[in-house]
Amino acid sequence: MGKKKLSFLAIMALCLLFVTTGCSKGEKAKDKTSDNNEISLAVWGYDQNTEFKALVESFEDKHDAKVKIVDIDPGAYENKITTLLASGDKTDVLAMKDVGSYVNYANKKQLLDLSTYSDKLSEEDIKSYGENLESYRTEDGKLYALPFRKDTYVLFYNKKLFDKAGVSYPEKLTWESYQEMAKKMTSGSNEAEKVYGGYHHKWFPIVQATAANQTNNDLLKGKYGFLKDYYNIFLNMQNEGSVMDYATIKTTNTTYSSVFETEKAATMIMGSFYISSLLKGTEAGTVDLDWGMAPIPQRKDSNEVITYGGPAGMAVNKNAANAKLARKFVEFCSGKEGAKVLSEIGITTAYQNEEILETLFSIPGMPQDEMSKQALYPDKNGFEHAANASAAEITKVLGEEHDLIMVEDVSLDKGISNMESRIKGIK
């Protein structure tokens, strides 16, 4: 009996060891926090920017992976990423907010070369990207990031305010007819009651990148006479009171969403990234607007609808802890799979085809009129500037001089002269 009991106990011990070992292996294979199935992702404003959460959740589900979020304040994002990369930090994936900063990271060899991604694309894929993939190609001919989003600047408008004023909805506006429309749509004798016909946010590309694309110029070339007509329009509109003045926007830290959603402005030139926020707010019951989109105003001699929009992308840290999975995540976000995920929540994507467009316009609450569709898919949707080594320095100067011009601390002629003389030193 003693031997039989001993043999039985030995067998049970072996079985227990086998079961435990088997479970351990099974759990490890499914463990989303294991080193091979986990990456970290640095982004700005994770809770406010719904595209990040949508991409992360979809990727985690499809690849049985875990993505840890490093959430950084939007205003401090570029400085924080610069510090992280300089310190040798191993955060795997870095969202690229600004093309100028991206080029700086690439030139310092802090990002992984992703150029081979474009080599394996089909002709259909290349066509679906248009120029968006190439917008991240640096002067050495390489890609150190891949775009997942491509914004389009459009004219958002409030249908209720137009109906109330008895004014036709904006359609194919020139800059001249836009100014007249804004005057007609401005009402209220004091600030508390005032509704502005238009709203121009403080970002300098709204003036400068619009002007560059509509006049076939380049913000990095160092000559800025082409900006004069556009600045005259923006300055005249704030001086006549049809838009909120720039100084007020700056000093009160006004947000574009608060102006539009509280119906303080009948129209607003803004990027398509705002669509997702409007749709989300409408679904949650926090936004109650009947809104549409039209192309931004055009030069009266133009036969095309021309606008611009910056890309947003993802890059892999050269010191990434899990570069293989990080690269897979970036390719997922940029390609067809990521585009489908994003179009479902109202984000305009870098990768576009008929299926993606149909998905975008099938969202409840999305405007269905042809003018809104034309606004999002114009004849030309250019970029703020190229992926140039001097871009960050040049745009810093352009932004500083833009502030001085718009608050009228310097004359328009002096401001443009300052841009040219200061950038001559950079180039």
The tens place of each residue's pLDDT in the chain, 427 residues long, gives 444 444 444 444 434 333 334 433 333 333 344 468 999 999 999 998 999 999 999 999 999 999 999 999 999 999 999 999 999 999 999 999 989 999 999 999 999 999 999 999 999 999 999 999 999 999 999 999 999 999 999 999 999 999 999 999 999 999 999 999 999 999 998 888 999 999 999 999 999 999 999 999 999 999 999 999 999 999 999 999 999 999 999 999 999 999 999 999 999 999 999 999 999 999 999 999 999 999 999 999 999 999 999 999 999 999 999 999 999 999 999 999 999 999 999 999 999 999 999 999 999 999 999 999 999 999 999 999 999 999 999 999 999 999 999 999 999 999 999 999 999 988 6
Ranges of H-type helices in 31-97: 50-63, 77-86
66-72 vs 153-158, strand pairing mode = unpaired
pLDDT value at position 190? 84
Q: Which residue has the tokens 């910056």?
A: 310
Question: Is residue 204 a contact partner of residue 144, using CB atoms and an 8 Å limit?
Answer: no
Distance (Å, whole) CA 326 – CA 58:
15
As a CATH number, domain 153-308+385-426 is: 3.40.190.10
C-beta neighbour count of 3 within 10 angstroms: 7
Q: How buried is 1 (Cβ within 10 angstroms: 0-12 exposed, 13-18 middle, 19+ buried)? A: exposed
* Residue 10 pLDDT: 45
**Are 211 and 227 spatial neighbours (Cβ–Cβ below 8 Å)?**
yes
Q: Which two tokens stand for residue 303?
A: 């036969």
For the chain, the 3-state helix, strand and coil shares in percent, each to the nearest 5, are 50, 15, 35
Give the integer Cα–Cα distance in Å for 56 and 345.
14
Task: Give the pLDDT confidence score for residue 189 in this predicted structure.
Answer: 82
Question: What are the extents of the domains in the chain?
Answer: 38-150+309-352, 153-308+385-426
- 153-308+385-426 shares the fold of 38-150+309-352: yes
Instruction: Name the residue among 97, 96, 91 with its Cα closest to residue 40.
Output: 91
Q: Report the length, in residues, of the chain.
A: 427
Contact status, residue 148 vs residue 334, Cβ threshold 8 Å? yes
- Tell me what pLDDT residue 13 has: 43
Q: How far apart are CA 280 and CA 53, in angstroms?
A: 13
pLDDT score at 28: 34
User: Rounded to an integer, what distance in angstroms lies between the CA atom of residue 108 and that of residue 105?
Assistant: 5
pLDDT of residue 30: 36
pLDDT given at position 1: 47
The CATH superfamily of 38-150+309-352 is Periplasmic binding protein-like II (3.40.190.10)
